[in-house]
Chains A and B, each alone.
Chain A
Amino acid sequence: MTDILNAFVVFANFVLVPGAAYGAQLALGALGITLVYGVLRFSNFAHGDTMAFGAMVTVLVTWWMQGHGVSLGLLPTALLALPFGIAATALFVLATDRVVYRFYRRQRSAPVIFVIVSVGVMFIMNGVVRFIIGPDDQNFADGARFLISAGDFRRLTGLEEGLAIKSTALLTLVVALVVMAALFWFLQKTRMGKAMRAYADNEDLALLSGVNPDRVVMVAWILVAALATVAGVLYGLDKTFKPFTYFQLLLPMFAAAIVGGIGNPVGAILGGFVIAYSEVAVTYAYKRFLGHLLPESLAPESLVQLLGTEYKFAVSFIILVVVLLIRPTGILRGKTI
């Protein structure tokens, strides 16, 4: 019995809990990607760097607040700085839309042109972020580090294995839940939200119904900025803030959006967790987990790891390819790419 409990605790410690937090972060990122795809009709390659920008502003404001002795006690100060990050990112993407995307919208350019344009925007944002904060790791997390540490867990339960739950993991899940609930309430219940869905569903008919396209696009960008900043800050708190990692997140986030069904917000959330758990489960070494479950004679010598962690991005790539081949609309039918 204790063996099974120990095995479960190991599994929860290294797969379930980190996967949940990572899944929520990917889901928030994928939501932004899916929103741009649905409303503005292109795949936004600059989304990862939008997250980096939002997180960067939040980091800077957090440092300033920490310098002035502002603190949230057990919670990270970054939560207080978050609204500033969102506002700055919203202004930045709205300016980008005004200067760059609007021109191509008026030209009624093909989606593939928008994609290439977004790659250009990505490089610019990339440069801006590195120029301001540099390419290195930055620490901005404060407050309580653990909800429960491995040692406390062991002492509490008397088990051999410990389960550590980082406070940022719980924070990620709670904030993600609140943000998602707010987003769905907005899309389902408000006048503007319905107009946005109508515009994404059938642009011409939405115009015939009197929907103002400029307003829809503006509100969509603000939502995207908010989602990107929240996702970027949560990822930075949970792991670390480094501009390059946000660029790397682009692939799993796109995979999440497409696997779930692009243009479909519920799909983006589902896809986020599918990708996160696949990545974590495939790159986890099951040696200790199996060691608790199997009799000593059968205990594995090797790490029992399907794929090295350095290959974790291959996992999203494989899932992406398989989904595109077998079910191009995604799990919950989105638009075909």
Chain B
Amino acid sequence: MSDVTEPFLIGEKMVGGYGGSTILNGCTIAVNRGEIAVIVGPNGAGKSTAMKAVFGMLNLREGSVRLGGKDITHLSPQDRVPEGMAFVPQNNNVFAGMTVRENLEMGAYLRREGVEETMEQVFHLFPILREKAGQNAGELSGGQRQQVAVGRALMTKPSVLMLDEPTAGVSPIVMDELFDRIIEIRRTGIAILMVEQNARQALEIADKGYVLVTGENRFTDTGAALLANPEVRRSFLGG
């Protein structure tokens, strides 16, 4: 993709924070359809904040967010959902007291048709969910819960899927498994933006990587290039 075409989703020169604080200092995050973009960086760099800003959970003082060329800077998070954005929060990302099937149904709450078809696709992607369809999501393991959470987000038929540390608190095996699924989701043409604590593994599957430090872009490149960059390796990937 050349530099002149605008990316599908872009949060450009974002400045903002909670209350009066400033966490983001003009960082830019962008992702195209069929791509995985990963935000990495040290603790407190504003990774999750940057993603929440793109989703509208934070008021920007400067900068803008555009989706498919449309300015959505002033839309509330709820209003971004029908625009095709799906967000998987890091915590409390399932309806614990509802069955897996009901969780998925809630994802498709705004849609009237084709729900069963999308659910089939989700079951195909995460076969374990079909087995556990009648069980309460709160009774599942951490990894299975994450699958429910991602599945619920996919039920909105999004064009952008945003994941806030999807592998937090799951075992390495489950993490690999989740990353495999995320690669599969990318193949359907969805733009995927995620924040990751496990920087090295995440950059391995990333088309684009953003290294944030104190709310600014420090390095921006393809995942492979960032992994190969000695400075990035030394400072952020532990050698």
Interface pair B81/A201, CB less than 8 Å apart: no
Any chain A CB within 8 A of the CB of B97? yes
Partner of A198, one of B82, B89, B95, B156: B95
Chain A proximity of B23: nearest CB distance (Å): 20
Chain B proximity of A289: nearest CB distance (Å): 43
Known A194-B106, A195-B106, A205-B89; contact A210-B81, beta-carbon cutoff 8 A: yes
Any chain A CB within 8 A of the CB of B78? yes
Any chain B CB within 8 A of the CB of A302? no
Any chain B CB within 8 A of the CB of A41? no
Any chain B CB within 8 A of the CB of A223? no
**B13-35 to A contact mask, C-beta < 8 Å, 1/0:** 00000000000000000000000
Any chain B CB within 8 A of the CB of A148? no
Interface pair B77/A208, CB less than 8 Å apart: yes
Interface pair B105/A201, CB less than 8 Å apart: no
What A residues does B109 contact at CB under 8 A? 191, 195, 198, 209-211
| Bound CA–CA A209/B151 (angstroms) | 12
Interface pair B95/A201, CB less than 8 Å apart: yes
Interface pair A210/B110, CB less than 8 Å apart: yes
What B residues does A205 contact at CB under 8 A? 89, 92-95, 106, 152
| A182-208 CB contacts (< 8 Å) to partner B | 191, 194-195, 197-198, 200-202, 204-208
Chain A proximity of B141: nearest CB distance (Å): 18
What A residues does B89 contact at CB under 8 A? 204-205, 208
| Bound CA–CA A210/B109 (angstroms) | 6
| Bound CA–CA A157/B220 (angstroms) | 91
Known A194-B102, A194-B106, A204-B89; contact A209-B96, beta-carbon cutoff 8 A: no
Partner of A202, one of B78, B94, B105, B110: B94
| Bound CA–CA A46/B68 (angstroms) | 50
Known A207-B77, A209-B152, A210-B109; contact A201-B97, beta-carbon cutoff 8 A: yes
What A residues does B102 contact at CB under 8 A? 194, 197-198
Interface pair A202/B95, CB less than 8 Å apart: yes
User: How many residues from B make CB contacts under 8 Å with A?
Assistant: 22
| Bound CA–CA A210/B94 (angstroms) | 15
Any chain A CB within 8 A of the CB of B183? no
Interface pair B106/A209, CB less than 8 Å apart: yes
Interface pair B98/A201, CB less than 8 Å apart: yes
**A200-236 to B contact mask, C-beta < 8 Å, 1/0:** 1110111111110000000000000000000000000
Known A198-B98, A210-B78; contact A204-B105, beta-carbon cutoff 8 A: no
Any chain A CB within 8 A of the CB of B87? yes
What B residues does A210 contact at CB under 8 A? 78, 81-82, 109-110, 156
| Bound CA–CA A206/B94 (angstroms) | 10
| Bound CA–CA A198/B137 (angstroms) | 12
| B77-114 CB contacts (< 8 Å) to partner A | 77-78, 81-82, 86-87, 89, 92-98, 102, 105-107, 109-110
Across the interface, name the chain A residue whose C-beta is closest to B93: A205
| A33-86 CB contacts (< 8 Å) to partner B | none
Interface pair B87/A208, CB less than 8 Å apart: yes
Across the interface, name the chain A residue whose C-beta is closest to B77: A208
| Bound CA–CA A202/B145 (angstroms) | 14
| Bound CA–CA A210/B83 (angstroms) | 11
Across the interface, name the chain A residue whose C-beta is closest to B88: A208
| Bound CA–CA A298/B194 (angstroms) | 79
Interface pair A194/B97, CB less than 8 Å apart: no
What B residues does A195 contact at CB under 8 A? 106, 109
What A residues does B95 contact at CB under 8 A? 197-198, 201-202, 205-206
Across the interface, name the chain B residue whose C-beta is closest to A38: B97
Interface pair A202/B81, CB less than 8 Å apart: no
What B residues does A211 contact at CB under 8 A? 106, 109
Known A194-B102, A195-B106, A198-B106; contact A209-B156, beta-carbon cutoff 8 A: yes
Beyond contacts A197-B97, A210-B78: 12 other A-B pairs, Cβ-Cβ < 8 A, are A195-B106, A197-B95, A198-B98, A198-B102, A198-B106, A198-B109, A201-B95, A201-B97, A205-B95, A208-B86, A209-B110, A210-B110
**B positions within 8 Å CB-CB of A:** 77-78, 81-82, 86-87, 89, 92-98, 102, 105-107, 109-110, 152, 156
Q: List 9 A-B contacts (CB under 8 A).
A: A195-B106, A197-B98, A198-B106, A201-B97, A202-B94, A205-B94, A207-B77, A208-B77, A209-B110
Q: Which 5 A-B pairs have the closest CB atoms?
A: A210-B110, A201-B95, A209-B106, A201-B97, A209-B109
